[in-house]
Every structure is written in C-alpha cells, then in structure tokens.
Structure 1
C-alpha cells in the first residue's frame, strides 16, 4: 500500500509541475519578428553593382564587399528607379543625360562584356527607413 501511495504522490507532483509549466507557457508573450516589412505602396529602391567605366570591373568597399549604387535618376520621378510593393502598374524610367563614364558602362552592358546586375532588398533597410509611398492609382 505504501508503494502505491508513493506512486500516486509522484504522479500528482508530476502533474502539478506539468500544469504549472503549461500555465506559464500559455501566459508568455509570443515571439515577434521585429524586422521591418514592406506594406502596400512602399517604395523599394533598385540598386546595381558599381563598376569601373574603363574596364567594367566590380568596385568593392573597404571590407572587400561588392558595392551597390542607386539606379540612375529617372526623368519621370526625379528619383532613382523604385518599384512599389503590392502595386501592379507599368513603370517607366527615362534617363535624360548620360555622362561619358555611364556611356562606357552601357557599352559594356550592351556588348555583354559585363552584365548589368541589380537587386532589390527583401525587407526595408531598417525600422526607421520609411520610403515615400506613391498613390497606387
């Protein structure tokens, strides 16, 4: 009988520990992804690999990472090329003036000596980054 009482006591203690842990877990705040996210209409900047105009070689920063620069300024917006998250529409980007270095880079791109490589970030750069919104209409 004493053996049975000891087992029941152990079972009650284990149940108490289990339900206490369960109650604490239920009252815990859920984990929140604090990384910034895009919202409909947010402008997403297009950046392209920086290349030298004389050879078309990649330009790197002080730490040896490839350097990306904003796309040239578009006549239509007066800003570098941007796409808008969740907005389906045609985007035109006319580059009005092309400097000699830019002309030589375009020659590299057209003749396929160096590919034009651009990217868009999957998330805004930081929580404080607020890209201007465009009217989706």
Structure 2
C-alpha cells in the first residue's frame, strides 16, 4: 500500500512540531536554571561584602526574561497543535515556574518595599541619612 502525499506531509509536519515542542520545553527548563544561576552569581557574597550586579549580569537577565517566555509559548503552542493534553500540564507547570523564577530571581533585585533611607538636608548642603550615629543623628 502506498501512502498519499497528504498523509506523508501530515506525518512529517506532526513530527517536526513534536521536535520543536521538545526543544522548546528543554530550552525553557534550561533558561529557568540559567536565570537562577545568574541571580546567584550576581548576589552571592561572603564575609559581609556588598554585592551589586554588573552590566553583563543585568543584560543576561534581560535576554533570559525575553527568551524564557517565548520558549514556553512555543512549547505550549506546539502541544496544542499536536493535541497532546498531558504535555500541556507539563508546559503549564513550566510556565508557572518560569514566571516565578523571573520575578524572584530578577537582576537587579526587585524591591517589594520602599527601603530607601530618609534624607535630611542641612543648611550647609550636607545630607544625613536616617539610621546611623555620629554627627548626623540617624546617619
């Protein structure tokens, strides 16, 4: 029995979308791991050192913040196209994890509360930050 050209094209298209789905799924999981690694490398300090992310780490986060959702959307779209419902559950979990990782491991760190110190300006132009000791009561 010979297959028709339409059946061959359908099978080939289905196979290629499954490959795309698998690559996007693996890529999105790797991107989540890279977001965490970037966060740790930016903020892991020892012995009381002050850690601030450099420009490369900020750029890396921004690139991953664009790529990760795109990979998740491609994986979900491929699963919908192939009508693979159980894979949609997996992609949904990955999507939730990706959003959580992008919010929790943001570089620079997202401040949820206003922790900036209060500034008092003196007549001579010097500034005093609250919370310290010495000349400035609070800075």
- TM-score, normalised to structure 1's length? 0.22
Say which structure is richer in strand.
1
Say which structure is richer in helix.
2
The structure with higher relative contact order (CA 8 Å, sep 6+) is 1
